Structure 1
Amino acid sequence: MEISTLAALNAAKRDRLGAVLVSDLDTGVSQLITEDQVATDALGQEIRARLLSGKSGTAEIAGKSLFLNVHLPPPRIVVIGAVHISQALAPMAALSGFAVTIIDPRTAFATPERFAGIDLRADWPDEVFAGMPLDRYSAMVAVTHDPKIDDPGLIAALQARCFYVGALGSRKTHAKRVERLTAGGLDAETIAAIRAPIGIDIGAATPAEIAVAILADVIQSLRRRSVGAASGSHEASP
């Protein structure tokens, strides 16, 4: 790998930007294509599919034998609320390959005993995000039912274009949330990216089942997110 290509790859990793190193198996020539450079041709379509799956491999394109080595930032799930749902969600998400951060300023809930081995922040969301910016490889899950805690996390996630933004609550609760966010200056299209009620509809009843529904929704959104020129906008999953 040329020094310039290695430098570009390191820059993409630093900026948490997905990239694919495309190597011609016959000539040995390689080029790095980041997710914001994906074209619409056959190679671009193959790169887009690889960025979504995260799987490296060979491909025959335009008479060339290529190896596509995929480099993706580790996806993360940020959970606002150290509640029972979070206790079930955190280990499942970690097993699925997500870095997990739990945020809750309520120290009675945010205790190491309840979240052993998890990145736990007993602070207000805006204080945490000042040192841990969100990005397109972050998912936001808000489950406190307290607007003072949930809303700052949701606003930060929407502004950062997180690939998933979900909030617990009934449709009536969400309607009030929409009113608050609108009054706070967010437009309807931005607010519409919030998945509420949160999670895939599987008839979940217990905290563990709700956690399963949320994690499934997050994974689906990760694998069906926009890649390329459209990646700056939200894409709703069916």
Structure 2
Amino acid sequence: MRLDLLAALNAARAERRAAAVVTEMPGGAQRVVTEAAGDPLAGPLAKAFASGRSCMIDAGERSAFINVHLPATRLVILGAVHVGQTLAPIAAALDYDVTVVDPRTAFATAERFSGVSLVADWPDRALPEMRLDRYTAFAALTHDPKIDDPGLIEALRAGCFYVGALGSRKTHAARRERLLAAGLAEAEIDRIKAPIGLAIGAASPAEIAISIMAEITAELRRPVAA
């Protein structure tokens, strides 16, 4: 690989941006692509970025090998609650970098969340330092507006690929009014998955955690428009 391409790839990694090294066949000409739109292989690149898998593309005169490099996915769980105790290890098993944020130190303990990064602070202080981004999933689970609302605002404004919140439709309707009053637009609030998780009839905390992880996975793998 040419040094300028390697520098571009390393820069994308440092900035937590998706990148792909496209090697044209035959000939071996290479380029680094960070946005699918506008590239001659926009469609295949969009699919490769969504799946996270490198692949060989046979498109007639535009055959190429696409080597995908994605940032590590992260899951931020706001609320050291029972649902989070199951959700955290499931996400870690799927190679997510998991962090639990909760200012309530009685809940955010190493005994309850073994092997997980814990931040015992309020979200308006903790989350900006974490630099949430489009490769971060965010789950607000405390059911406490004082904690959940600031976290949701930060996650939406950071462009997290998934933003979900625990609570009924009635609870979310009240939440919507608060977020509108806080200055968020309707379109931003519409991105919140609430009630959180796929509708699989989950009842127990463990089942709810499974439904949340399934919904996060579906959102992560959703193909993006080329």
Range into which the TM-score falls when normalised by the shorter chain: over 0.9
What does residue 8 of structure 2 align with? 8
Q: TM-score, normalised by structure 2?
A: 0.96
d(CA) in 2 for partners of 1:144, 1:129: 15
Percent same amino acid among aligned pairs?
Answer: 53
More displaced 10-residue stretch of structure 1: 125-134 or 107-116: 125-134
Q: Please state how far the C-alpha of 1:128 moved relative to its aligned partner.
A: 1.4
After superposition, what is the alpha-carbon deviation per residue over 1:67-99, rounded to whole angstroms, capped at 9, x for unaligned? Answer: 110000011110100000000000001111211
Q: Please state how far the C-alpha of 1:136 moved relative to its aligned partner.
A: 0.5
Q: Which runs of 4+ in 1 moved over 4 A?
A: none
Q: Please state how far the C-alpha of 1:25 moved relative to its aligned partner.
A: 3.8
CA root-mean-square deviation: 1.3
d(CA) in 2 for partners of 1:178, 1:64: 48
What does residue 60 of structure 1 align with? 58
Amino acid aligned to 2:167: G
Q: Please state how far the C-alpha of 1:40 moved relative to its aligned partner.
A: 6.7
Which of the residues 175, 178, 188 maps onto 2:176?
178
d(CA) in 1 for partners of 2:126, 2:224: 27
Q: Please state how far the C-alpha of 1:125 moved relative to its aligned partner.
A: 1.1
* Count of aligned pairs between the two proteins: 226
d(CA) in 2 for partners of 1:166, 1:13: 26
Q: Please state how far the C-alpha of 1:225 moved relative to its aligned partner.
A: 5.5
Alignment of 1:23-172 (within 5 A): 23-35=23-35, 37-39=36-38, 41=40, 43-172=41-170
What does residue 233 of structure 1 align with? none
Q: Runs of 5+ in structure 1 lacking a partner?
A: 229-238
Q: TM-score, normalised by structure 1?
A: 0.91
- Report the secondary structure of 1:7's partner residue: helix
- Report the secondary structure of 1:214's partner residue: helix
d(CA) in 2 for partners of 1:176, 1:217: 23
d(CA) in 2 for partners of 1:137, 1:187: 22
Amino acid aligned to 2:112: R
Which of the residues 212, 216, 219 maps onto 1:218?
216
d(CA) in 1 for partners of 2:157, 2:223: 16
d(CA) in 1 for partners of 2:20, 2:123: 33
Alignment of 1:219-234 (within 5 A): 219-224=217-222, 226=224
1:20 matches 2:5: no
- Report the secondary structure of 1:131's partner residue: helix
d(CA) in 2 for partners of 1:111, 1:5: 44
Q: Is the 8 A contact 1:79 1:143 kept in 2?
A: yes
- Report the secondary structure of 1:165's partner residue: strand
Q: Please state how far the C-alpha of 1:28 moved relative to its aligned partner.
A: 1.8
